[in-house]
Structure 1
């Protein structure tokens, strides 16, 4: 039986560990925290997983919270004007529903499941010097811990990383008591509120440790009016700032958030990081090799909500690459090929996310405006969150975008004739 070590117990690490375990591999999983410490700790992300990523969990039979998690049927876009009015507001319909499970719930539950199924779970921090030993003791070592010393082993790929500094300051608050949008008709949606030149407010229905809730997520241009969360330690103060900014820039969202409360004392998170693509394979001081997983090697800004989706897709891709390898060695050439296979999935995500961080070109503004009048455009944009590769076919290029809008307009005109 082949022995595999996974360092890091996030979406990708745990999903891959459970997948390999189910296929008969001897898997060791290392985490720096216990399941209880994760469950009782601070929120870790703003995850919203779309249909393809959710299907990867279903395929492994680890979609334990699907029935109790709010089903997100749409993705809405609103654009704020300088006077805080909302000249653009529409909702695209998703072909398959999305869901968000607080990673404290999911990671703790998956970790316990892995151990219950006979997996070897080691609670201990890992240094580069430890990996030197592990690379000789295991057939394959994968690094899925996206922060700290281990990430620095993987060299930044400048050709794929246009940004060297954070492009947004990030502030998250998990809340109870958010009223539904009056126009929603009872259907849940992720709402993306664009405040041009200033940042974005993203609102996501979720399931947390205390039941259904909502995530209020500000992304602020550094140095701008939303960049006020650094150094704020008190969760209630962070929520107050969040609501004050909603009142000022997105009053339609503030109107339904007047009575919200934090889900728990650990329901806030703030920070910033530079979106970075790294080399997929790292060489240890001893000459051993390790393979990077998910945001260890492809860390995009969360503006497009792709982090957990990409992690799930990376785990699924690596699971197939490992299985197909059979008894052959997991050497450097194989590791590079496994990363390259994942990069074919990740590249469109990175391209789209980096584009959304920049000021939008004129044709993108036209698409966003047209989606308010043309429901097929709104629907296609929304479903791109599930399959970002589709944006290459119509969204990025001005000529392709114009041709697509023309097709939709002609179709609408023919239907109404």
Structure 2
């Protein structure tokens, strides 16, 4: 029975560890926090799992919240130009429902599932020396830590990475947020404010039940970039209401009864979109393999992080099981990642970069979506399956040809 270590217990690491365990491998999972610490800690992210990624989880027996998490089939999109005035408004429909589960709840549940299925978990921090020890005692060591010292061991791919954050991020989990049409099914909402940023609202499931996640994507230095002092959830909500009143008054009206879900239900920060080389060399000829945010870190504007992690976990699991008893060499690691990059990850990276830059041809798509439901639907489902991006959004010529075909 082959011995594999997974360092990091997030979306990618836990998914892979559970899959390896089910396939009969001896898996050592190293996690920084226990399930109890996760449930009692600060929110970890915003997240939206789209239908294709949910199918991957379902096939692995990991979609444990389908009967509790709100099923989201559509996104209400609005362009505010000038601020405070709706210039465009339309609905984008998903072919399959999306869902969002607070990762405090999800990762704690998966950790407990890993233990129930006989997995071995070590709850501790790992530095380079600790990673070296794991690599020397396991046939394969996979690093799924996202950021920090271990991620820095993997060399940055400058040609595929952004030089700096393109948005500052501020999120809040809240109860009591109203809906434009209370009789309609739960919908996500997306509001774009040119030169200022974007507001996303995602129906979700948190520790205390259904909630809404509000995510500000603020252009650095712009009017929405005003949370650097990291206020608590109550003050953050009050400040958000002020911004909503000025920039998105139709949203402001829906937040009159809102309140934070808990005292740790908010986050502030920024993400520099980064792609790293998938193999890190340690001492004595040891190599470790990166997965998920360790090697492909996206800004959350397109909601690709958790989806990319699920695809990577499934891809790596398949490659490991198909590799038989052969050695997990650096060459094998690179080939496995290169296939994941070509087939999956690069599409999410390129789609996210376009959404952050919003070139003219993409602006035309959003405008056309307000007039043509089929454009709105295809755009919605490109979020769900970014592999469609290169066939119609990657260049002005492709977009022009598609729009002309309407």
**Residues 16-415 of structure 1: pairs in structure 2 closer than 5 A:** 16-161=16-161, 163-182=162-181, 186-344=184-342, 345-358=344-357, 360-408=358-406
Aligned residue for 1:256, secondary structure, equals helix
Distance in structure 1 (CA, Å) of the matches to 2:347 and 2:230: 35
Task: Tell me how far apart the structure 2 counterparts of residues 47 and 31 of structure 1 sit (CA, whole Å).
Answer: 20
Give the TM-score normalised by the residue count of structure 2: 0.98
The structural deviation recorded for 1:45 is 0.7
Mapped partners of 1:134, 1:399: distance in 2: 50
Q: Partners of 1:259 and 1:177 in 2: how far apart?
A: 5
C-alpha contact 2:232 2:263 (8 A) present in aligned 1: no
Q: Deviation per CA, 1:74-97, whole angstroms, max 9, x where unpaired? A: 123211112411111111111110
Query: Structure 2: how far apart are the matches of 1:279 and 1:397?
Result: 26
Shift in Å, 1:357 = 1.1
Whether the 8 Å contact between 1:72 and 1:205 is mirrored in structure 2 is yes
Q: Tell me, in whole angstroms, the C-alpha distance in 2 between the residues paired with 1:256 and 1:94.
A: 24
List gaps (5 residues or longer) in structure 2.
none
Deviations 1:356-376 (A, max 9, x none): 111x23222221111111000
SS of the residue corresponding to residue 254 of structure 2 reads coil
RMSD over aligned CA atoms reads 1.1
8 Å Cα contact 1:141/1:291 also seen in 2: yes
Contact kept in structure 2, 1:206 and 1:215, CA below 8 Å: yes
Deviation at 1:244, TM superposition (A): 1.5
Instruction: Report the secondary structure of 1:142's partner residue.
Output: strand
Structure 2 CA distance for aligned equivalents of residues 395 and 351 of structure 1: 10
The C-alpha deviation readout for 1:248-296, integer Å capped at 9, x for no partner, is 1111111111110001111101111211101011011333100001010
Is the CA contact (8 Å cut-off) linking 2:83 and 2:246 kept in structure 1?
Answer: no
User: 1:93-120, CA deviations, whole angstroms, 9 ceiling, x for partnerless residues?
Assistant: 1111000000011000000110111100
Q: Distance in 2 between matches of 1:12 and 1:6?
A: 10
Displacement of 1:62 in angstroms is 1.4
- In 2, the alpha carbon distance for the partners of 1:404 and 1:148 equals 42
| Aligned mates of 1:394, 1:340 — CA distance in 2 | 23
2:253 and 2:204 map into 1 onto residues whose CA distance is 20
Deviations 1:151-206 (A, max 9, x none): 11001101111x21111110000000011123x75122221111111110000000
CA contact (8 A) 1:277 1:297 kept: yes
Size of the aligned set, in residue pairs, is 405
Once the 2 structures are TM-superposed, how far is the Cα of residue 402 of structure 1 from its aligned partner? Answer: 2.1
TM-score under structure 1 normalisation? 0.95
SS of residue matched to 1:271 = strand
Q: For residues 185 and 381 of structure 1, do their structure 2 counterparts lie closer, same or farther at Cα, with a shift above 3 Å needed?
A: farther
Cα distance in 1 between the residues matched to 2:187 and 2:401 = 28
How far is the alpha carbon of 1:350 from its aligned partner? Answer: 0.5
Comparing 238-247 and 63-72, the one that deviates more: 238-247
- Specify the SS of the correspondent of 2:383: coil
Q: 1:243 and 1:287, CA in 2 relative to 1: closer, same or farther beyond 3 A?
A: farther
How far off its partner does 1:33 sit? 0.7
Q: Which residue of 2 aligns with 1:412?
A: none
| Structure 1 Cα separation of the partners of residues 41 and 352 of structure 2 | 29
Q: Which moved more, 1:208-217 or 1:126-135?
A: 126-135
